[in-house]
Structure 1
């Protein structure tokens, strides 16, 4: 059976099942990938193609929402397998795909060299002639199917979201937060939290980007973490309320010697309390375990924002 609107969700296998997604959009026998996971994800990407009866030569585009390594680390390796594809990327992200030296150095500063090697593998450059810079409002055409790219800062200054009119949905990268399926309640309603991963979190631009997407009255969002979600208006309200709450918690922790520990504890309480109120079928211990990495990264990102604001 053909996937709805020709959109295939691909589990890239990063960290755990149903954690990190990429997407394949199929139109008239041609394909476009949106995000790609890490170098280790290339077999899953090619398997998704084969599952739709497509060959690597049938892919016209690899579109990156942004160049954080869980979304784009495998771009160079995947592009080596796709002879006819062009890489579409934000103007601020393009230089890092052509020469990933600074990107790798920045990620190493956050995660450490051992984690980069284990989780992401080799970061392969993409030849400049195969890269198309995509600015706000540019359209990528997939066999006559327009994919509108808009600039959506807040999570990162090199972030695009992609509007697909056919499905009336956005491919949101990290701009529309994180929604892990383990937190869906008994009615199947999704739970969401913002992501403030270092180093470019900006609360007001992030809320503005969410409002910009809502203006299209989307029926669904396709998140990298993880999958398609509906109930878009409620989730957008939840995200904006949590962004404000997270900013308040960060400011309350600022100036204390144990700022990071305070922030980790207060973020944990915020998310666990909200998950309980949502009816997520998880204990506080289970919820904390599943969110532990995101809590740590969110705390780090909020601290970078605090220090930048104070400078």
Structure 2
């Protein structure tokens, strides 16, 4: 478990999601109203607690736990963690609220994606009491101190229940998965979209990215993983790769084969596409990042296939 002090206010705790370093993190905003953004899944909660302890933060001091969206790698441990934070409220998109109160459908959806790995990756998922949930509408603000206000934006594309959170003090946006994933390998950074099922919508994702461009952003705080100050470049890269993902997937997709076959074919194509980019930029093909890339491209392929089926009205897959 590692802690990165981004500045005097914000720290990043590595939550060791999937037992991997620098995969998923929790941002700690040390203001009068102490705030945490993301918990990851329940197996990450011990890492979060250890990180908070090293930062000399008591669980009783936490006032807000913000979830960018309710996918389990961002929010699955929220219910478990909240039990130990007596003064905290959970903040979520209005469309995510009911799934935190009753996570039955959330669990079923994740089981469909992750299969037999579900228990190892996500169990347990605890429901959250209704009275401890706050929802934020588009453009709504929350003051954490006299010098810091958070503004919440509804940013669909990756998920309909997605919030992005603008921090006025650092002029940074906590992005969740709206503008993809940042892969950091030494001094090199790569930005690819995250198109996971089952609410992926490329046009909405582009609209959300355009919203980012309209704001005075100096930083992007990625859910996966870490902070970037090359805002314009990162957003341009994600949009570019989003188009490439769709083009390559369209070439591979067939309405005459099963969903599983389409996912396998498109996964292979996306791994080849992104892997060649890394190799061309000097990354050793034996670098562990390629295993992570395979996992991410598989989940992205699932989302793209699901999107194609909905768009084409194709029920034969």
TM-score (norm: length of structure 1): 0.92
Give the deviation of 1:159 after TM superposition.
0.4
User: Paired residue for 2:223?
Assistant: 224
- Distance (Å, rounded) in 1 between the aligned partners of 2:252 and 2:287: 23
Distance in 1 between residues matched to 2:227 and 2:287, nearest whole Å: 26
- Counterpart for residue 105 of structure 1: 108
Aligned pairs (5 A) from 1:236-255: 236-255=235-254
Residue 24 of structure 2 corresponds to residue 25 of structure 1: no
Mapped partners of 2:282, 2:143: distance in 1:
39
**Bigger Cα displacement from structure 2, 134-143 vs 163-172:** 134-143
Q: Give the 3 Å change call, closer, same or farther, for CA 261–122 of structure 1 in structure 2.
A: closer
Does residue 45 of structure 1 match 2:69? no
The CA distance in 2 between the partners of 1:193 and 1:254, in whole Å, is 20
Structure 2: where are the runs of 5+ without partners?
A: none
**Residue 218 of structure 1: SS of its match in structure 2?**
coil
Deviation at residue 128 of structure 1 after TM alignment: 0.2
Deviates more, 1:63-72 or 1:248-257: 248-257
Pick one of 121, 124, 140 that aligns with 2:123: 121
1:163 aligns with 2:166: yes
- Does residue 148 of structure 1 match 2:151? yes
Q: Secondary structure at the match of 1:4?
A: coil
Deviation string for 1:139-176 (max 9, x for gaps)?
12223421111000000000001000111111100112
- The equivalent of 2:138 in structure 1 is 136
Give the secondary structure class of the aligned counterpart of 2:189. Answer: coil
After TM superposition, give the deviation of residue 208 of structure 1 in Å.
1.1
User: After superposition, where does 1:40-79 map in structure 2 within 5 Å?
Assistant: 40-79=43-82
Comparing 138-147 with 66-75, greater Cα deviation is found at: 138-147
Which residue in 2 is equivalent to 1:203? 202
Q: Hey, what's the Cα distance between the residues in 1 that align with 2:287 and 2:5?
A: 39
Paired position in structure 2 for 1:96: 99
CA deviations on 1:199-243 (whole Å, 9 max, x unpaired) are 111001101111111221311111111111121111111110111
CA distance in 1, matches of 2:238, 2:306: 20
Distance 2:182 2:287 in 1: 18
Cα separation, 1, equivalents of 2:22 and 2:5? 21
What is the aligned residue count?
304
RMSD: 1.8
CA 1:124–1:192: 2 relative to 1, 3 Å: same
Deviation per residue, 1:231-256 (Å, 9 max, x gap):
11111111101111111122212225
Tell me how far 1:3 sits from its aligned partner.
5.0
Identify if the C-alpha distance between structure 1 residues 60 and 198 changes in structure 2 by more than 3 Å, giving closer, same or farther: same
1:49 Cα offset (Å): 2.4
Residue 9 of structure 1 is matched in structure 2 by 12
Change (3 A) 1:103 1:201: same
Gap change, CA 1:158 and 1:280, over 3 Å in 2? farther
> Once the 2 structures are TM-superposed, how far is the Cα of residue 20 of structure 1 from its aligned partner?
1.0
**TM-fit CA distance, 1:285:** 7.1
Higher relative contact order (CA 8 A, sep 6+): 1
Greater CA drift, 246-255 or 12-21: 246-255
1:282 is displaced (CA, Å) by 2.5
Q: Secondary structure at the match of 1:216?
A: coil
3-state SS in 2 of match to 1:195: coil
Q: 1:91 offset after TM fit, Å?
A: 0.6
